[in-house]
Amino acid sequence: MLATTGIYHRLITHKSYQAPVWVKWVGSVVAASAGQMGPSWWKAHHLAHHLHTDQVLDSHSPHTAPRGVGGFLWSHGIWLLSRRCFPTRLPSDVENDRVLRMIDRLHFIPLIALGAISYGIGGLEYLGAFFLSTTLLFHGVQTVNSLAHIFGAQPFATDDQSRNNSLVALLTLGEGWHNLHHAFQASSRQGITIRDGQVVYLPDPTFRFVKLMEFFGLASKLRVPAETDLLARAKHQEPAYVSSSL
């Protein structure tokens, strides 16, 4: 999960911090071993999601046809079984890195290797654990596309249905603070909201992971929005209680 959130998403896709290229390579192999496909595929779909959020060209929005439960199921995984699974354009920066491009094309090898290693260490029991953990992780990641575009708060003004959803944040190590992410895509910290006109920081294990990498010299130039920018983007909220002057 950390490789998906911290490397595929916040590093390779959004460049919310800088890291040595080998961190991208290792992180991509780990993310691919979790069945998250390759870095070019992942970034291509995710950039399209940000460019066309909840519009027709968004591959996995719960708000384009079909609606309702069908929309939830579509965004949660059915889209992967359609031709929308194949991106029309791959990101040039990832494609220009020979190693990342190779990992992208051979993304299934780390996945198969992890299954084989699991079987080699602990037989069918470990192979079962491999399938279970991979399946749980898949659904965890998919909740960002489904639940975090349906249920939750919208403390920031965006042109989409992105939400801050604490359950999704719990499952995905901080990626569920998705409304903040759509408002500030380049922020390495996603656990941020606005309460009573104040900036409030929320649990964000992926950001802690990036800070830990920074401590060991593996991450730098972390991008985090200034509080003035956060407040400027905050949605106008009606006060919960207005005292009577009578």
Positions in the binding site for Zn ion (CB under 5 A): 162
Q: Which is nearer to Zn ion, 46 or 107 (CB)?
A: 46
Strands (E), 138-213: 192-195, 198-201
Least Å from the CB of residue 61 to Zn ion: 8
Q: Which is nearer to Zn ion, 146 or 162 (CB)?
A: 162
Q: Which is nearer to Zn ion, 40 or 162 (CB)?
A: 162
Q: Tokens 């900036």 belong to which residue?
A: 199
Residue 26 has which token pair? Answer: 């290792």
Residue 38 has which token pair? Answer: 């390759």
Residues with Cβ within 8 Å of 97's Cβ and at least 6 positions away in sequence, in order, are: 21, 24
Least Å from the CB of residue 93 to Zn ion: 15
> DSSP characters for 63-106?
TSSS-HHHHHHHHHTGGGGSGGGS-SS--HHHHTSHHHHHHHHT
Least Å from the CB of residue 179 to Zn ion: 9
Least Å from the CB of residue 89 to Zn ion: 17
Least Å from the CB of residue 13 to Zn ion: 6
245: helix, strand or coil: coil
**Cα distance between residue 1 and residue 138, in whole Å:** 9
Q: Which is nearer to Zn ion, 43 or 107 (CB)?
A: 43
Least Å from the CB of residue 229 to Zn ion: 18
Residues with Cβ within 8 Å of 205's Cβ and at least 6 positions away in sequence, in order, are: 2, 173, 174
Q: Which is nearer to Zn ion, 143 or 162 (CB)?
A: 162
The residue nearest Zn ion at its CB is: 162
Give the other-Cβ count within 10 Å of 54's Cβ.
18
Q: Which is nearer to Zn ion, 64 or 162 (CB)?
A: 162
